[in-house]
Amino acid sequence: MDKKLLVDNIRKVPDYPVKGIMFFDVTTLFKNHRCLMEIVDSICEMYRDKGITKVAGVESRGFVVGAAVAAKLGAGFVPVRKPGKLPAEIVSESYSKEYGTDVIEMHTDAIEPGDVVLVHDDILATGGTASAAVRLVKKFNPKAVYANFIIDIVDIPRSRPIPSDVEVSSLLQLSEK
């Protein structure tokens, strides 16, 4: 994996969405074909032998890579959405994040007990969204759950760690400083 290519193409936005937060904008990676392919290929290589049957992409940046990874792995894609976006019966999970609280939802028929699920999102920071997504997926009693991120911001304390029985990986480990 060409980590330098990826790091060089990430836009850093200070004080977004609130003062004191350094926002790593991965949309600059998505608009670059080489970066996007590097991300998708690298994640698929990491999970090709894990038996992934569903990729749960967290709204909204997790949809971009999550759907591409699902297609390449021969798995289904499940959107993990913000409230009010899904048309059928849902299950939800609330959580705290570094600048507020939120809720995520999935359709009640999204995952089966025999599924092996890869939860994918763009950034792992405090762990609020990630741990909520994993808890939400675990409500379906899948066979196994993995969590993957493009970027792990390593110098932010995890206020909500991902459960220890979930293998966590990231392509890049970056500092907010």
Q: Mind listing the pLDDT tens digit of every residue in the chain (177 residues)?
A: 899 999 999 999 999 988 888 899 999 999 999 999 999 999 999 999 999 999 999 999 999 999 999 999 999 999 999 999 999 999 999 987 656 689 999 999 999 999 999 999 999 988 889 999 999 999 999 999 999 999 999 998 888 789 999 999 999 999 987
Q: Enter the tokens of residue 93.
A: 């999970």
Q: Enter the tokens of residue 125.
A: 């920071």
Q: What is the pLDDT of residue 42?
A: 98
Domain layout of the chain by residue ranges: 49-174
Angle between helices 61-73 and 33-47 (to 10 degrees): 60
Query: CA-CA distance, 117 to 119, in Å (whole number)?
Result: 6
Q: What is the pLDDT of residue 126?
A: 85
61 given a catalytic annotation: yes
**H or E element at residue 5:** helix 3-8
Q: What is the pLDDT of residue 101?
A: 84
Question: Annotated catalytic residue: which of 48, 89, 93, 98?
Answer: 98
Question: Annotated catalytic residue: which of 38, 61, 81, 93?
Answer: 61
Q: What is the pLDDT of residue 97?
A: 64
Q: What is the pLDDT of residue 132?
A: 95
Q: What is the pLDDT of residue 157?
A: 84
Residue range 49-174 in CATH 3.40.50.2020: yes
Query: CA-CA distance, 166 to 162, in Å (whole number)?
Result: 7
Q: What is the pLDDT of residue 144?
A: 98
96 burial class (0-12, 13-18, 19+ CB within 10 angstroms)? middle
167 given a catalytic annotation: no
Q: Enter the tokens of residue 162.
A: 């991902």
Helices (H) and strands (E) in the chain, counts: 5, 9
User: Would you mind telling me the total number of residues written for the chain in this entry?
Assistant: 177
